[in-house]
Structure 1
Amino acid sequence: MSTLFRDARLADGRVRDVRTESGRIAEVAASIDADADRVVDADGRLLLPGAIDAHVHFREPGHGHKETWTTGSQSAAAGGVTTVVDQPNTTPPTVSGAAFDEKASLAEASVVDYGINGGVTPDWDPESLFDRPLFALGEVFLADSTGDMGIEADRFADAVERAAARDVVVTVHAEDADLFDDSARDRDAGGVGRDADADVWSQFRSPEAEAAAVERAVEVGAETGGEIHIAHTSTPEGVDAAVAGGATCEVTPHHLFLSREDATELGTYGRMNPPLRGEERRAGLWDRLVDGDVDIVATDHAPHTVEEKEAGLWDAPSGVPGVETMLPLLLERARRDEISYERVRDVTAANVADAFDLPNKGRVREGCDADLVLVDPENAREIRGDDLHSKCGWTPFEGRTGVFPDLTMVRGRVVFDGDSVTDEPIGENVRR
């Protein structure tokens, strides 16, 4: 079905007609005199390229009670995300060709386009893994105490070298467990769920642990010729180390909009890796986002059930949902003139496409995929977990304000119309 958007405002302020045909953007012009199966009167509303979330955990295989490819991708579509990249720490982890194939079969249920990252463990099978259409290597845990996905420094260097030989980006979870503050356990006052003191988790996983690991990761990248991308950078020091080392980096909405000051209210719902940082560091991250040092905003969408989060601080799983609220939160800040719409477009779409070699994604430009999001910047509303589409049913941004899409389109097909989201599995692996 062809679509013609009339009088749409692009991120740079220009008002244009945009016509799609056969899944691609066929024409962008001041005025288009052509027939279309569907005409959308944008009436000055904002038309953006669909967001590309380079960091999600849709939990399948192994943990479908938290999220599935269907529910996760529907949440993405309702938030204006048209491509997602799933990380490898599922059960089994995506560290072999067979494991990749299992996940790829499940991913066929997605309503948005997707990529699948491979992972590295002590028993990974790189030959069969690199035979598959990988999006990247990641989330590679560098000296991080996160269980089966952690690897030693020599194995990390080997993985980066193997990836470099195949022009595959390595996405790094940069925290050095040797610099964690074990004495934080002694400061834990107990409590479960929202009664737990999540600030202790921030004290435990120290800011120094991140900066040191980023520096090591970029050093290995320089030595091997590997391309390094630092995931969920949570400190200004981490961003600065990535920039100095020539790596790209991403920040998450929870590190941009939440800080240790929110830990008391969130309790274990605010436990994530890396943890929330102090308000000064949060503000420093925002400044670097606005100024251009941060390349990408990605969500690290990591849903867990309410029952799982209602545990003690040291037993509750780390992670928060975010794929549906990333773009709305950023658009709200743009509505307040705290960041430009062009910058929002770049960090959620254009820069991601450039960093991960997706030439047909991330731009409202002739020839690109018709991944489009139509929003009314003045139509802001309160974020409520009950209104979102993730299977987990909660959000750390409860009560905050976001600007949600009126329409989301993937390769010319409407997947969200402002009210309902499709269940038709039209998503494709972007590496095919």
Structure 2
Amino acid sequence: MLIANATLPDGRERDVRIADGEIDAVEPSLSGEPDVDAAGKRLFPGAIDVHVHFRQPGYSHKETWETGSRSAAAGGVTTVVDQPNTDPATVDGAGFDEKADLAAASYVDYGINGGVTESWNPDELFDRPLFALGEVFLADSTGDMGIDADLFGDAVARAAENDVTVTVHAEDADLFDQSARDADAGGEGEAANADLWSAFRAAEAEEAAVERAVEVGGDSDADVHIAHTSTPEGIDAASAGGATCEVTPHHLFLSREDLGELGTYGRMNPPLRSAERREAVYERVADGTVDVIATDHAPHTREEKEAGLWDAPSGVPGVETMLPLLLEEARQENLSYERVRDLIAANPADIFDLPSKGQIEEGRDADLVLFDPESSQKIRGEDLNSKCEWTPFEGRRGVFPELTLVRGEIVYRNGNFGTAVGRNVRR
């Protein structure tokens, strides 16, 4: 394939030739009849979403590898990393193998994270083509995946021995504000009181857990990556401690002020923060302090999300809207196209050791996304490809891709899907 006249993230106009799944040449002018005339359009490296929950095995009524990866491809994401809290959890060899069999249905490349519980089997996990350990729940009240500090230290040490990154869900449940629950006098958790979830899972709980995670990581000389940081304090603690961190689109664009409209659809962990904290998070995304944007794509059905506040599951979908929302920010000149590229492609590839991905360079995988920078449109849940069919970004604007390639294969083009070609990036 020859793509001609494309504008790259840094503003250069180039022709890009693809051969055998790789980028063969990137030049001002290449000979041959172009397959795609990209004049007036931008060509990006495919996004790498290092934090998704595609729900299989165990919860296929919420999402499957097929529907989740289609949603990814339609949003310009060409690599995803799935988290371990499925059923069974990915904590041993059998759990990994079951998930790997299901992942064969993926339209995009993928990694599989191993989990840490009291019953995990590190020998079996590290014998598999594991992407990382994570999402490791440090002192977090999320149920079966939560671990104590001693087990966390052991897991980090084992990961360091095997040169595996540890991705940490950093919230210290000891610092949750019980008075927020008490404030719900009726105990019914009505959607109108959705802000109580943010008050309950207090911002201080994140900073304390990040500090603990980077301290333990430093003791073991491990690579620690903090998932979905939602506060400027958490981001700064990660940066000061030598860890990398990610921010989700919902923590970047939404705040507690949106909960009156979102209700329980806006419940997630960590929760939405104040408008002031959201603005401070955005500043750190723009100035380079934050390393990665990742979605924490966590779909649930409408019926599940419409339960009372204390019963509704946490999480929102986002894999299809991450890049479009960021490209809209670039279109509005709030972020540069180069910064967007770094957040969604170049930095994830560097941090997680994916040398064949993340850049438009000769010899890299031809994971490419083409879009018209002026094709801004309203986001509608009914138009998206996730099985849950809703979005917390309803009515906001995004710039969606018209063409998505995974290793040179067309997986999405103008509303149509190609072939499922995904493979494990750690194969």
TM-score (norm 1): 0.97
Q: What is aligned with 1:99?
A: 95
Amino acid in structure 1 at the alignment position of 2:146: G
Q: Which of 48, 67, 71 is the aligned partner of 1:71?
A: 67
1:401 is aligned to 2:397: yes
> What SS does the aligned partner of 1:134 have?
coil
Amino acid in structure 2 at the alignment position of 1:51: A
1:266 is aligned to 2:265: no
> What SS does the aligned partner of 2:416 have?
coil
Q: Verify the 8 A CA contact 1:303 1:320 in the aligned structure 2.
A: yes
The farther-off stretch of 106-115 and 189-198 is: 189-198
> What SS does the aligned partner of 2:80 have?
strand
1:196 is aligned to 2:196: no
**Mapping of residues 4-403 of structure 1, within 5 Å:** 4-34=2-32, 39-188=35-184, 195-403=191-399
Query: CA offsets, 1:121-172, max 9 Å, x none?
Result: 0110110111000000000000000000000001000000000001000000
1:419 is aligned to 2:415: yes
Q: What is aligned with 2:424?
A: 429
Q: Verify the 8 A CA contact 2:189 2:310 in the aligned structure 1.
A: no
Deviation at 1:188, TM superposition (A): 2.4
Amino acid in structure 1 at the alignment position of 2:16: V
Q: Structure 2 vs 1, CA of residues 348 and 217 (structure 1 numbering), >3 Å: closer, same or farther?
A: same
Deviation at 1:190, TM superposition (A): 6.2
**C-alpha RMSD of the superposition:** 1.2
Q: What is the CA–CA distance in structure 2 between the aligned matches of 1:82 and 1:193, rounded to whole Å? A: 38
Query: CA offsets, 1:9-66, max 9 Å, x none?
Result: 000000000010110000000000146xx61000120000000000000000000000
Q: What is the CA–CA distance in structure 2 between the aligned matches of 1:191 and 1:261, rounded to whole Å? A: 22
Q: Verify the 8 A CA contact 1:15 1:44 in the aligned structure 2.
A: no
Q: Verify the 8 A CA contact 1:205 1:275 in the aligned structure 2.
A: yes
Q: Structure 2 vs 1, CA of residues 153 and 42 (structure 1 numbering), >3 Å: closer, same or farther?
A: same
Q: What is the CA–CA distance in structure 1 between the aligned matches of 2:238 and 2:309, rounded to whole Å? A: 30
Q: Verify the 8 A CA contact 1:190 1:196 in the aligned structure 2.
A: no
Amino acid in structure 1 at the alignment position of 2:313: P
Amino acid in structure 2 at the alignment position of 1:153: A
Q: Verify the 8 A CA contact 2:106 2:422 in the aligned structure 1.
A: yes
Deviation at 1:419, TM superposition (A): 1.6
Deviation at 1:336, TM superposition (A): 0.4
Deviation at 1:193, TM superposition (A): 9.5
Q: Structure 2 vs 1, CA of residues 233 and 34 (structure 1 numbering), >3 Å: closer, same or farther?
A: same
Q: Verify the 8 A CA contact 2:112 2:130 in the aligned structure 1.
A: yes
Amino acid in structure 1 at the alignment position of 2:166: V
Q: What is the CA–CA distance in structure 2 between the aligned matches of 1:221 and 1:367, rounded to whole Å? A: 34
Query: CA offsets, 1:228-261, max 9 Å, x none?
Result: 0000000000000000000000000000000000
Aligned residues: 427
TM-score (norm 2): 0.99
Q: What is the CA–CA distance in structure 1 between the aligned matches of 2:96 and 2:262, rounded to whole Å? A: 35
Q: What is the CA–CA distance in structure 1 between the aligned matches of 2:218 and 2:318, rounded to whole Å? A: 32
Q: Verify the 8 A CA contact 1:290 1:343 in the aligned structure 2.
A: yes
Q: What is the CA–CA distance in structure 2 between the aligned matches of 1:83 and 1:20, rounded to whole Å? A: 18
Q: Structure 2 vs 1, CA of residues 193 and 324 (structure 1 numbering), >3 Å: closer, same or farther?
A: farther
Q: Structure 2 vs 1, CA of residues 390 and 190 (structure 1 numbering), >3 Å: closer, same or farther?
A: farther
Q: Verify the 8 A CA contact 1:359 1:368 in the aligned structure 2.
A: yes
Q: Structure 2 vs 1, CA of residues 192 and 301 (structure 1 numbering), >3 Å: closer, same or farther?
A: farther
Q: Verify the 8 A CA contact 1:120 1:140 in the aligned structure 2.
A: yes
Q: Verify the 8 A CA contact 1:192 1:268 in the aligned structure 2.
A: no
Q: What is the CA–CA distance in structure 1 between the aligned matches of 2:175 and 2:313, rounded to whole Å? A: 21
Q: Verify the 8 A CA contact 1:290 1:339 in the aligned structure 2.
A: yes
Q: What is the CA–CA distance in structure 1 between the aligned matches of 2:324 and 2:141, rounded to whole Å? A: 33
Percent identity of equivalent pairs: 71
Q: Structure 2 vs 1, CA of residues 27 and 244 (structure 1 numbering), >3 Å: closer, same or farther?
A: same
Q: Structure 2 vs 1, CA of residues 293 and 43 (structure 1 numbering), >3 Å: closer, same or farther?
A: same
Query: CA offsets, 1:250-286, max 9 Å, x none?
Result: 0000000000000110000000000000000000010
Q: Which runs of 5+ in 1 are unaligned?
A: none
Q: What is the CA–CA distance in structure 1 between the aligned matches of 2:119 and 2:372, rounded to whole Å? A: 49
Query: CA offsets, 1:386-411, max 9 Å, x none?
Result: 00000000000000000000100000
Q: Structure 2 vs 1, CA of residues 314 and 364 (structure 1 numbering), >3 Å: closer, same or farther?
A: same
Q: Verify the 8 A CA contact 1:301 1:322 in the aligned structure 2.
A: yes
Q: Which runs of 5+ in 2 are unaligned?
A: none
Deviation at 1:189, TM superposition (A): 6.3
Q: What is the CA–CA distance in structure 2 between the aligned matches of 1:125 and 1:257, rounded to whole Å? A: 38
> What SS does the aligned partner of 1:18 have?
strand
